Structure 1
Amino acid sequence: MSELQIGLLVAGALAVLAVYGYSLWQQRQHRRHFGATFRQRGEDVLIRDAAEDQPVGILGEAALGHALPLEPARAAARSERRRWPRECGLLDAATDYIAVLSFRSPANAQTLAQLWQQRFDFRKNVCVCGLNAASGAWEKMLAESPSSYSAFKLALQLADRSGAASEAKLEDFRNLVRGIAEQQQAEAELPDVASAAARALELDNFCAGVDQMVGLNILPGGARAFSGSEIASAAALHGLVLRADGIFHLQDARGFTVFSLGNYDNIPFLHQGLDQMQVNGLTLLLDVPCVEQPARRFDDMAVLARQLAMSLHAAVVDDHRVALGEPGIAQIREQVATIESRMLAYPIVPGSPQARRLFF
């Protein structure tokens, strides 16, 4: 193969990758700006009736509407379960439908082979915690986890940015767990599906009211445009890194985005050819529920907006291209602080693993 042919193949591959990356970026932008909020908006109410969280045994008991006496071994297992550590930090009854399986002898991850195979069928995140038989601590489980476990907590997330988990999917999940329990002769605690579906709708409605992104635009004066090279230099100076989505990100120590800097015209920045770009403006974006202490992070973003505007000889403006002074920025900050307070009162801590799952 000649050097010319190789060069053409490489160029073609790069073009395909660029188009694919741009398509993904456009989908993400559309979802975040036009489809990001949950489908229903309603009162900020969470149903927390203790009766709704009562477990349902699979071998009779509440599932059949009457109680059966427990075998001695099962009664001992239930007594032992009361001494378990109660927390599995990844899961929360407010945001997840949580089923519990307990075993007479330790089980491994392959016990849940059917769940691993079908986990994408439920259209919501599935998370599993195992009670490590050796350490006695709950830990996140994967299909490849090598440890042995005394019990599993299997959770289906009740809502995300695409909406609430449907009662039908919750029922499917419960039936799958029930089947695993029967196959493994395990004891199962299966919460009521109807009440979980109601909680899912309430959670969906609450999240719709706090699912907000705030932006600060940085526009050049007159007919001037920013060059890609000066944007890259200014971004690097302030610690922003260009990622595969075509947007510059400021990340925290764990690699999570604090806020981002994108093209005002929604055209992604690409490493190749960045120095050739002419850009009409920039937008700093803060995904409010997904960052820790969002009001403080907004303060940081406002400072960065002013610094970028100064270094690029530009102005900070709102979506109507009106200059944003201190009163305007303070008003936006107040809205961010209100969202933060509402989330903490729910309680969903902004930027927590729980929040990042809900607002993904």
Structure 2
Amino acid sequence: MRRCASGRSWPPDDMTDLQFGLLLIGAVAVAAVLIYNRVQERAAGRRAERAFGARHADALLGETAARRESAVAPRKNAMQSAALPDARLDYVIALAAPRGIAEASLRELRARLEHRFAKRVLLAASKGGKWSAALQLVSRAGVASESELVEFRSEVETLAAKVGAGVSAPEMRQALDAARELDRVCAQADIQVALHVVGAAIAEVQSGEHAFQVTAREDGVTLTLDVVRTTQPARSFQAMARTGRELAAAYGARLVDDNGNLVDERALAAIGTELEAVRHMLAERGIEPGSPLALRLFS
């Protein structure tokens, strides 16, 4: 006889054998249901893992991950930049001195510029001992202001005069006008695609090497693709859509868009057409989605 925490005996002395037998049968039935549900949950989890398995990984997605790592890798030393200045999005000032520029002076310039402009500043060497200082004019934050550009140029010219270096820089007004036009194009191209697998509690899944992101939600998961930061976004979207369909099938869930509408093949084709339009829009500017230049522009 086992006693409950309350001190009452179990089973009660007045319970008949028939009642006790029925109680045991009910307990066994409940346990069987719990075990069955657990088995089904594990089976669904295995199906989800297969949906995110290695058979979806390809060179496209691996290359994207490698490019992102390269683009955001920290400098190995103060004089090594993670990227080179590009006149399409940077205001580039060329510095040249007959006897070169001392490293201490360059360190001073970098420190002053980074203190004011943070990661938007690049300092790079070119052939013949020449250097260039650049301020990124366009990003997801918008376009640099005229006052910022004036301040940047003043800082560089002050150091150049101090070390006896010559300065060559583009006209600021033209540079800002070009930056605003580039920002307009980027605003049109900067899109994200989201698919939602809803209607079931989905076990935790990992996106692995895929270019899209996976976010858990109460009634499923959300798959998101940052189009302009992904190499060949159309192919990455196909992989994301395939994963969404397989997850929906595995869990008996639904694949929907941001408005809760079911996503069918027609909708997927329309999204693919839009992604191609984005790629073409950027290509006209010499920008490939997922490239180092795109990662800087859309940061």
Q: 2:112, 2:171 → 1: CA distance?
A: 24
Note the residue ranges of structure 2 that are not aligned, 5 or more in a row: 1-81
The question of whether the paired residues in 2 share the 8 Å contact of 1:181 and 1:188 is answered with: yes
Of 263, 266, 269 in structure 1, the residue corresponding to residue 216 of structure 2 is 263
Q: Who is 2:185 aligned against?
A: 206
TM-score w.r.t. length of structure 1: 0.57
Q: 2:215, 2:149 → 1: CA distance?
A: 38
The residue identity in structure 1 corresponding to 2:213 is: S
The residue identity in structure 1 corresponding to 2:111 is: W
Q: 1:161, 1:307 → 2: CA distance?
A: 34
Q: 1:171, 1:164 → 2: CA distance?
A: 14
Larger Rg over CA atoms? 2
Q: Who is 1:36 aligned against?
A: none
Asked if 1:286 corresponds to 2:225, the answer is yes
Q: 2:173, 2:244 → 1: CA distance?
A: 47
Q: 1:109, 1:96 → 2: CA distance?
A: 23
Q: Who is 1:90 aligned against?
A: 84
The question of whether the paired residues in 1 share the 8 Å contact of 2:229 and 2:294 is answered with: yes
The residue identity in structure 1 corresponding to 2:201 is: A
Asked if 1:303 corresponds to 2:275, the answer is no
Question: Quick one: structure 1 residues 120 and 200, their matched pair in 2 at CA, closer, same or farther if it must change by over 3 Å?
Answer: farther
Q: Who is 1:215 aligned against?
A: 194
The residue identity in structure 1 corresponding to 2:99 is: S
Asked if 1:163 corresponds to 2:142, the answer is yes
SS where residue 101 of structure 1 aligns?
Answer: strand
Question: Quick one: structure 1 residues 109 and 286, their matched pair in 2 at CA, closer, same or farther if it must change by over 3 Å?
Answer: farther
Q: Who is 2:204 aligned against?
A: 231
Q: Who is 1:37 aligned against?
A: none
- Deviations for 1:282-340, whole angstroms, at most 9, x for unmatched residues? 11111111111111111111112122223333221112222211001111111111101
Question: Quick one: structure 1 residues 109 and 212, their matched pair in 2 at CA, closer, same or farther if it must change by over 3 Å?
Answer: farther
- Taking the TM superposition and a 5 Å limit, the aligned residue runs for 1:1-360 are 90-112=84-106, 113-122=108-117, 125-131=120-126, 136=127, 150-220=129-199, 224-226=200-202, 230-232=203-205, 235=206, 240-241=207-208, 250=209, 258-264=211-217, 279-360=218-299
More helix by share: 2
SS where residue 156 of structure 1 aligns?
Answer: strand
The residue identity in structure 2 corresponding to 1:337 is: E
Following superposition, which runs of at least 4 residues in structure 1 exceed 4 angstroms of deviation? none
The question of whether the paired residues in 1 share the 8 Å contact of 2:110 and 2:123 is answered with: no
Note the residue ranges of structure 1 that are not aligned, 5 or more in a row: 1-87, 137-148, 242-249, 252-257, 265-278
Q: 1:177, 1:118 → 2: CA distance?
A: 8
- Deviations for 1:78-134, whole angstroms, at most 9, x for unmatched residues? xxxxxxxxxx97222111100111122233543221332332423761112113xxx
